[in-house]
């Protein structure tokens, strides 16, 4: 061991970041220590707070440090529209790409019986309660176009059907097998506009 | 603003890492928050400690959280050899690539009169004191093969000449204009073996 053990620990810890291997982690550590300690200290502090304080919105399950997120807390949005997505990052993607002004519901995953992920693990009890409130008049299913995402969308469409709430599925242009988060804005916007009634 | 402000702050802060743009920062933040909070908390804690506690080795100026680094504190190394490098990461590169068993001196930069970086800013007063101790019998100049790196090596070679200490410069195979840290091990090892007397 020729390096400082704290430096080694920093390099090792940085590898928890997606896409960061040993070499990149080392470059990041030296960069912060040699050139930018203030930013490193600020990042450490913000990251610690974020990990401890950010939780799920009590209404839509997206990430927020408040009880309800900014979107749920905004009474100017259209309460008749509810868009169901898998991840908090999908909310960001839809907000940036489309003119959608309804509310969201974030599953935090998808049904996957083989992995033991059932309806309550993705908050469907909370979603049912939301649908029972009676305000939602269209449920937009924007789960990822993967096999499990489709199965999840289908399952949710039946929860809507039971309550006579029309469900639609975003459709055109989203390539099968891809993740919503990485689709370009134009495609996603088009898919939103071209949504069709779930049948 | 549709996102949590703490989430926004985390994404913004992550951009201080080299090579991390807005998109990558967002992916990192969501990954930690959704899948790996424990690693995120640990990274935050280690990074905070590293930024506060890691400083310069009192003897060679490399990064360490102790008074002297592991290499300087190792009496089994060859006290007659001293290798001068620009950055702490260069020490790691030389250690990994070569069989060098002497000590190091880390400048933390290079002479750059136009940027107001003079001899004392890169620790040359400390280096002179080290040479005055009388133990060093060969000074290996391993600054980067850039214009400023060469100027710095030349300047230091004169400090050595004044004391009748032979100085050598690593040479063969390191491509001009490149940074030592990114040279492959074989090339660096070769350059080390092929060092020539500084004249
Ligand atoms: Zn919410
Ligand atoms: Zn040292």
CA distances from B132 to A79, A91, B151, B153, B164 (A): 79, 65, 22, 18, 11
B47 vs A44, A49, A87: nearest CB: A44
Mutate to test the interface with B, among A1, A8, A17 (most CBs of B within 10 A): A17
Yes or no, beta carbons of A13 and B92 under 8 Å apart: no
pLDDT, tens only, B64-111: 999 999 999 999 999 999 999 999 999 998 998 888 999 999 999 999
Q: What is the ipTM of this complex?
A: 0.84
- What is the pLDDT at residue A175? 64
pTM above 0.95, yes or no: no
Low-confidence stretches of chain A (pLDDT beneath 70) = 1-4, 171-176, 190, 194, 196, 199
- What is the pLDDT at residue B135? 96
CA distance A154 to chain B (A): 24
Residues of A in contact with B65 (CB under 8 A): 4-7
What is the chain A residue with the closest CA to B108?
Answer: A34
Residues of A in contact with B92 (CB under 8 A): 2-3, 26
Domains in chain A: ranges and CATH = 76-169 (3.40.1360.10)
- What is the pLDDT at residue B190? 64
- Please answer whether residues A29 and B50 qualify as being in contact, where contact means their C-beta atoms are separated by less than 8 angstroms: yes
Of A182, A181, A197, A191, nearest to A91 by C-alpha is A181
| A63 CA → ligand 1 middle, Å | 8
CA distance B16 to chain A (A): 6
pLDDT, tens only, B109-119: 999 989 999 99
* Sequence-separated (6 or more) residues with CB below 8 Å from residue A164: none
| A144 CA → ligand 1 middle, Å | 20
| A98 CA → ligand 2 middle, Å | 56
φ and ψ at residue B122, rounded to 5 degrees = -110, 20
Sign of CA dihedral B3, B9, B10, B15: positive
Residues of B in contact with A37 (CB under 8 A): 51
* Sequence-separated (6 or more) residues with CB below 8 Å from residue B121: B109
pLDDT, tens only, A128-166: 999 999 999 999 999 987 889 989 999 999 999 999 999
φ and ψ at residue B169, rounded to 5 degrees = -125, 125
Residues of A in contact with B99 (CB under 8 A): none
- Please answer whether residues A26 and A11 qualify as being in contact, where contact means their C-beta atoms are separated by less than 8 angstroms: yes
Which of A156-166 are b and which e, b meaning 16 or more Cβ less than 10 Å from the residue's Cβ? bbebbeeeebe
Yes or no, beta carbons of B13 and A66 under 8 Å apart: no
CA distances from B99 to B75, B78, B186 (A): 17, 12, 12
Low-confidence stretches of chain B (pLDDT beneath 70) = 1-4, 171-176, 190, 194, 196, 199
Residues of A in contact with B36 (CB under 8 A): 16
Secondary structure class of A58 (helix, strand, coil): coil
| A152 CA → ligand 1 middle, Å | 20
| B56 CA → ligand 2 middle, Å | 8
């Amino acid at each position: 061991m020729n390096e400082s053990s704290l430096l080694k620990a920093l390099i090792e810890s940085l590898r928890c970041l997606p896409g960061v291997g040993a070499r990149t982690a080392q470059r990041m550590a030296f960069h912060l220590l040699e050139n930018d300690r203030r930013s490193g200290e600020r990042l450490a502090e913000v990251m610690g707070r974020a990990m401890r304080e950010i939780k799920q919105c009590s209404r839509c399950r997206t990430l927020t440090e408040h009880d309800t997120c900014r979107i749920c807390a905004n009474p100017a949005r259209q309460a008749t529209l509810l868009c169901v997505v898998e991840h908090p990052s999908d909310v960001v993607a839809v907000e940036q790409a489309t003119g959608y002004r309804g509310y969201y519901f974030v599953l935090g995953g998808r049904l996957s019986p083989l992995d033991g992920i059932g309806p309550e693990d993705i908050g469907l009890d909370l979603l049912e309660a939301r649908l029972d409130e009676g305000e939602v008049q269209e449920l937009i299913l924007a789960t990822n176009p993967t096999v499990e995402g489709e199965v999840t969308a289908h399952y949710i469409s039946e929860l809507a059907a039971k309550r006579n709430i029309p469900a639609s599925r975003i459709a055109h242009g989203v390539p099968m097998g891809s993740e919503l988060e990485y689709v370009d804005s134009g495609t996603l916007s088009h898919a939103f506009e071209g949504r069709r009634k779930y049948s």
